[in-house]
Chains A and B, each alone.
Chain A
Amino acid sequence: MNELLATGSLSLLADRPYMPPEASTYSGTVDFWFDFILYCSLFFFVLMNGLTAYFAIRYRRKAGAKPHGPTHSNTLELTWTIIPAILVFVMFFGGFHGFMNMYTPPENGYDIAVTGQQWNWTFTYPNGHTDSELHIPINTPIRLTLESVDVLHSLYIPAFRAKMDAVPGRYTRMWFEATREGTYNVFCAEYCGTSHSDMTTKCVVHPSMEGYKEWLAAADPFSKKNMTDEQFEEYKADPAKFIAAHPEIKNLLPLDKMGEILWKKKGCNACHSVDGTANIGPTWKGVYGKTEQFENAPAQTVDDNYIRESIVDPLAKIVKGFPGSMPAYQGRITDREITALIWYIRSLGDQKAK
């Protein structure tokens, strides 16, 4: 009972033999509509096959029996058009309503970056730790940004009823909030070649944020546990210098910190400020989540895919009031570097999160 109250989910009582355990805030909604459709379908299936079987026996061919019965009836036709039409509209609306919740990430959440590649998943945590397993705290909205380095993949966690494709060359986003601690299957659901079926991992839901943070600190190579005290002090004093001295752990830098370094290294800082002053290009401060007006395209909210496009193909959308003078970075920047820049820009103020 305590577990029940802790997770705040009454649907725990209703685990179904034909569904995985319900472990996210929206899995109950999915199962409710699944059951609604199941019962409607069973009714019509029994009705149709019952009548078919009954007629097939009752009217089986006998000598001298003459076929009879009407050949058309508009009343009947309208009945079996309108009743199913109403029912499918209810299904459509229920599914639409649930889907909007499932596919609209909340404005505040805990961000984790996901990379799919043949044939494993890599999860990058806010502190820069990367791991092949997904660890999350309970009762916290988790927002995942997915990308793929090679072919299509799809992150699927049956217990959360959550699924989203990872597409090379663009970002996709998904979110969920776990309501039940435990370890759950994570699958790749989009066929990706020879070892597609081995592209599986675990999602560990920690019973509290504190427990999760403890795990992350222990797993994080920058934590004291994995470094001498001396190294840790050195790292805290100047992360960039420490990383430069230890090239083997370069990729473990927190994504937003890595983005900050790239902002200087790639020369972004020549035109884009991070303190709100307009330069040759728009400032990055507070730009994430803002609705931007363009010279040559309809207005759009600044999100991951927009930033990606602005880097690889800057002239596709030129912000009003600025010259279209940025060079294209297609081929001169890696996917991971783009992701790092996005995390940096997001760290400079996310309009949506306010």
Chain B
Amino acid sequence: MSSLDASTALGHGHAPPREGVNYLNADNSVAGWLGTLDHKRICILYLVGVGIMFLIGGLFAVLFRTELLTPGKTIMDANTYNKFFTLHGAIMVFIVIIPGIPAALGNFVLPLMLGTKDVAFPRLNLASWYMWLFGTLLMLSSLVFGGVDTGWTFYTPYSTKVQGGAMAGVVPTLFGAFMLGFSSIFTGLNFIVTIHKLRHPNMSWFTMPLFLWSIYATAVIQVLATPVIGITVVLAAIERLLGIGIFDPALGGDPVLFQHFFWFYSHPAVYIMILPAMGVMSELIAVHSHKHIFGYRFIGFSSVAIALLGFLVWGHHMFTSGQSTLLSVIFSGITFSIAIPSAVKMFNWIATLYGGSISLNAPMCYALSFMWIFGIGGLTGLFLSTLATDIHLHDTYFVVAHFHYVMAGTIFVLFGATHHWWPKITGRMYNENVARVACALLFIGFNTVFLPQFVMGSLGMPRRYYNYKEEYQIYHVISSIGSYIMSAGVLTLIYCLSTSLMRGAKAPRNPWGAATLEWQTASPPVVENFETTPTAGDPYDFDALRYDEKTGDYVYVGNPTGPKH
């Protein structure tokens, strides 16, 4: 047992917390929110921002899915359709999923899990949020300038050459991506330093919750890969504005070079999006089955393996680009190697469920949905890393379905994580039944949208098509209906969380019986995070908790037989 105070680790003391005052009600002035250095409030800023942008990005998707109900024009013209799928992609990738788990929830959870008072650089943390905000506004401003229809991949020479019409917004969008990139880099840097320097004195690397391992691996990718996309979008903007030949062959440039630069970031970015979700999965599965995580070290090291291998596979996006066949073969081989650590994680989570005491509450429902969704997303990746089959499937709806199954895995976990930490963040419980209905609607809707897309993709339907052959219509119609079911799920989710805010029951400190440190403080936490020093032990030792029926709370009593590690 440690007698060290978490704030001692920071090198300064603090005043004792005041009764009834928590981080939410401490200072409700505008400056108190928009100028806050408190990582918990910055989480709220991100959650609200990311939530609004998720709804906007989703709205674009529902609109263009409606357009695709019939071949030819249904509700919008080709240019509008092209702008909508471009913005849907750019918003969901750069603005929603990349910051979704690490910057939004990670901001709240990471310092609390470490038992510390804040992140290492609170001002940088706030600056990251403002960069996110300005990047988002820049990207949305492209709509005012006439929009962008390059697709979120900005492939050259289309993005640097074609003028007028739907293309006037390219430059603000590129600078928006640049800003968002630096927001991501600063968050990653902040988290790396925080994990190294501000861990609870009793917390070693191997008694750190697995969420933190995955956030650490993510942060390494953010810091090393994101500068490349920053430079690339600036080069594209320079070519477009000044006519200096970098990517346009008419000016002496090389269009395929852009693809190499772009995917050198954007493939690792896939792991920026999925690794934090895998980290949350380890927490959700263990906590809601009250079972020690299975294969801690294998899960932790597999995060690092995925992060490192993720840098070496970018060429698998370019098998048909005309790159050398030798290069394609090497990229295919390395791509397969990533399947292994991903499979290891899945099997370890299943083994964790074995013999557990599984509560089928909303966070667990979302976690089980992830097993299904990421299972399909991961396995269909095998078709795309196999060279012979990829040539046929490349740039078809099969790819669209594949990466939505991977990315939406992250969205499902983001929702699961929001429910899991909701009592801690807001101090209120939500209605389990409504939350489970929302999860079920989202799950059914999602599969209705994307399962038919695998079939139409393998039948040859290319992606980004406004018009299509009639033989594909049946799949498009089913897919569009799914998007309406998903919309109902999102509305139910909003209803569930907003009623919780208005009249949810007061949350105890530890409603789930979790053993990580954030559950040892009040719900919501005090401004200083902890009233007294938290006790750090094995983060998955659920024998150290006793259920108190009167308060509905799990109380930390320590493990009489000692920690399992």
Assess whether B350 is in contact with A48, with CB atoms less than 8 Å apart. Answer: yes
Instruction: From A94-102, A134-142, A286-294, give the one contacting chain B.
Output: A94-102
Assess whether A71 is in contact with B293, with CB atoms less than 8 Å apart. Answer: yes
B458 → chain A closest CB, angstroms = 5
**B394 located at the interface, meaning its Cβ lies under 8 Å from any Cβ of chain A in the complex:** yes
Assess whether A61 is in contact with B388, with CB atoms less than 8 Å apart. Answer: no
Assess whether A40 is in contact with B382, with CB atoms less than 8 Å apart. Answer: yes
What mask results when residues 90 to 121 of chain B are scored 1 for a CB within 8 Å of chain A, else 0?
00000000000000000000000000000000
Assess whether A34 is in contact with B322, with CB atoms less than 8 Å apart. Answer: no
**A103 located at the interface, meaning its Cβ lies under 8 Å from any Cβ of chain B in the complex:** yes
What mask results when residues 1 to 42 of chain A are scored 1 for a CB within 8 Å of chain B, else 0?
000000000000000001110000010011001100110110
Given the known A-B contacts A188-B462, A196-B464, are A172 and B344 also in contact in the complex, defined by CB atoms under 8 Å?
no
Instruction: From B44-52, B161-169, B178-186, B479-487, give the one contacting chain A.
Output: B161-169
A163 → chain B closest CB, angstroms = 5
Assess whether B360 is in contact with A99, with CB atoms less than 8 Å apart. Answer: no
Assess whether A198 is in contact with B467, with CB atoms less than 8 Å apart. Answer: yes
Give the contacting residue for A61; candidates B325, B358, B459; CB below 8 A. B358
Q: Which residue of A lies closest to B298 (CB)?
A: A77
Q: How far is it, in angstroms, between the C-alpha of A43 and the C-alpha of B215 when the chains are bound? A: 32
Q: How far is it, in angstroms, between the C-alpha of A325 and the C-alpha of B395 when the chains are bound? A: 44
Assess whether A191 is in contact with B289, with CB atoms less than 8 Å apart. Answer: no
Assess whether A91 is in contact with B340, with CB atoms less than 8 Å apart. Answer: no
**A126 located at the interface, meaning its Cβ lies under 8 Å from any Cβ of chain B in the complex:** no
Q: How far is it, in angstroms, between the C-alpha of A298 and the C-alpha of B223 when the chains are bound? A: 37
**B557 located at the interface, meaning its Cβ lies under 8 Å from any Cβ of chain A in the complex:** no
Assess whether A151 is in contact with B79, with CB atoms less than 8 Å apart. Answer: no
Assess whether B466 is in contact with A70, with CB atoms less than 8 Å apart. Answer: no
With a CB–CB cut-off of 8 A, which chain B residues contact A34? 383, 389, 392, 458
A80-139 residues at the B interface, CB under 8 angstroms: 80-81, 84-85, 88-89, 91-92, 94-100, 102-104
B248-264 residues at the A interface, CB under 8 angstroms: 248-250, 252, 254-256
Assess whether A164 is in contact with B320, with CB atoms less than 8 Å apart. Answer: yes
Assess whether A158 is in contact with B321, with CB atoms less than 8 Å apart. Answer: no
Give the contacting residue for B391; candidates A30, A151, A185, A195; CB below 8 A. A30
Assess whether A99 is in contact with B325, with CB atoms less than 8 Å apart. Answer: yes
Q: Which residue of A lies closest to B328 (CB)?
A: A99
Q: Which residue of A lies closest to B165 (CB)?
A: A194
Assess whether B78 is in contact with A197, with CB atoms less than 8 Å apart. Answer: yes
**B171 located at the interface, meaning its Cβ lies under 8 Å from any Cβ of chain A in the complex:** no
Assess whether A189 is in contact with B395, with CB atoms less than 8 Å apart. Answer: yes
Q: How far is it, in angstroms, between the C-alpha of A150 and the C-alpha of B375 when the chains are bound? A: 40
With a CB–CB cut-off of 8 A, which chain B residues contact A68? 355
**B157 located at the interface, meaning its Cβ lies under 8 Å from any Cβ of chain A in the complex:** yes
B465-483 residues at the A interface, CB under 8 angstroms: 465-469
With a CB–CB cut-off of 8 A, which chain B residues contact A102? 388, 391
Give the contacting residue for A194; candidates B82, B459, B462; CB below 8 A. B82
Assess whether B357 is in contact with A37, with CB atoms less than 8 Å apart. Answer: no
Q: Which residue of A lies closest to B348 (CB)?
A: A77
Q: How far is it, in angstroms, between the C-alpha of A197 and the C-alpha of B73 when the chains are bound? A: 12
Q: How many residues of A contact B (CB 8 A)?
A: 86
Assess whether B459 is in contact with A18, with CB atoms less than 8 Å apart. Answer: yes
Q: Which residue of A lies closest to B322 (CB)?
A: A172
**Which residue, A26, A73, A103, A185, has most C-beta atoms of chain B within 10 A?**
A103
**B503 located at the interface, meaning its Cβ lies under 8 Å from any Cβ of chain A in the complex:** no
Assess whether B166 is in contact with A154, with CB atoms less than 8 Å apart. Answer: no
- Chain B's interface size range is 35 or more
Give the contacting residue for B158; candidates A26, A62, A170, A193; CB below 8 A. A193
What mask results when residues 378 to 404 of chain B are scored 1 for a CB within 8 Å of chain A, else 0?
011011011111111011100000000
Q: How far is it, in angstroms, between the C-alpha of A196 and the C-alpha of B467 when the chains are bound? A: 9
Assess whether B344 is in contact with A94, with CB atoms less than 8 Å apart. Answer: no
**B37 located at the interface, meaning its Cβ lies under 8 Å from any Cβ of chain A in the complex:** no
**B440 located at the interface, meaning its Cβ lies under 8 Å from any Cβ of chain A in the complex:** no
Q: Which residue of A lies closest to B166 (CB)?
A: A194
Q: How far is it, in angstroms, between the C-alpha of A185 and the C-alpha of B350 when the chains are bound? A: 44
With a CB–CB cut-off of 8 A, which chain B residues contact A97? 388
**B351 located at the interface, meaning its Cβ lies under 8 Å from any Cβ of chain A in the complex:** yes
**A69 located at the interface, meaning its Cβ lies under 8 Å from any Cβ of chain B in the complex:** yes
B431-459 residues at the A interface, CB under 8 angstroms: 454-455, 458-459
Assess whether A154 is in contact with B346, with CB atoms less than 8 Å apart. Answer: no
With a CB–CB cut-off of 8 A, which chain A residues contact B346? 48
Give the contacting residue for B336; candidates A71, A88, A165; CB below 8 A. A88
**B490 located at the interface, meaning its Cβ lies under 8 Å from any Cβ of chain A in the complex:** no
Assess whether B354 is in contact with A45, with CB atoms less than 8 Å apart. Answer: no
With a CB–CB cut-off of 8 A, which chain B residues contact A193? 82, 149, 158, 162
Assess whether B387 is in contact with A151, with CB atoms less than 8 Å apart. Answer: no
Q: Which residue of A lies closest to B77 (CB)?
A: A194
**B227 located at the interface, meaning its Cβ lies under 8 Å from any Cβ of chain A in the complex:** no
**B291 located at the interface, meaning its Cβ lies under 8 Å from any Cβ of chain A in the complex:** yes
Q: How far is it, in angstroms, between the C-alpha of A103 and the C-alpha of B467 when the chains are bound? A: 30
Interface residues of A (CB under 8 A from B): 18-20, 26, 29-30, 33-34, 37-38, 40-41, 44-45, 48-49, 51-53, 55-56, 59-62, 65-73, 76-77, 80-81, 84-85, 88-89, 91-92, 94-100, 102-104, 150-152, 154, 156, 158-159, 161-165, 167-170, 172, 185, 187-198, 200, 330
Could you show 11 A-B contacts with beta carbons less than 8 Å apart? Answer: A38-B383, A48-B375, A51-B353, A61-B290, A69-B355, A70-B351, A71-B292, A77-B295, A80-B344, A185-B460, A196-B82
Given known contacts A55-B350, A59-B356, what 18 new A-B pairs fall within 8 Å (CB)? A18-B454, A48-B371, A49-B375, A55-B354, A55-B356, A62-B357, A71-B293, A72-B297, A76-B295, A84-B343, A95-B389, A98-B387, A151-B161, A154-B320, A156-B395, A187-B462, A191-B158, A194-B165
Interface residues of B (CB under 8 A from A): 78-79, 82, 149-151, 155, 157-158, 161-162, 165-166, 248-250, 252, 254-256, 289-298, 319-322, 325, 328-329, 332-333, 336-337, 339-340, 343-344, 346-348, 350-351, 353-360, 364, 368, 371-372, 375-376, 379-380, 382-383, 385-392, 394-396, 454-455, 458-460, 462-469, 540, 542, 564
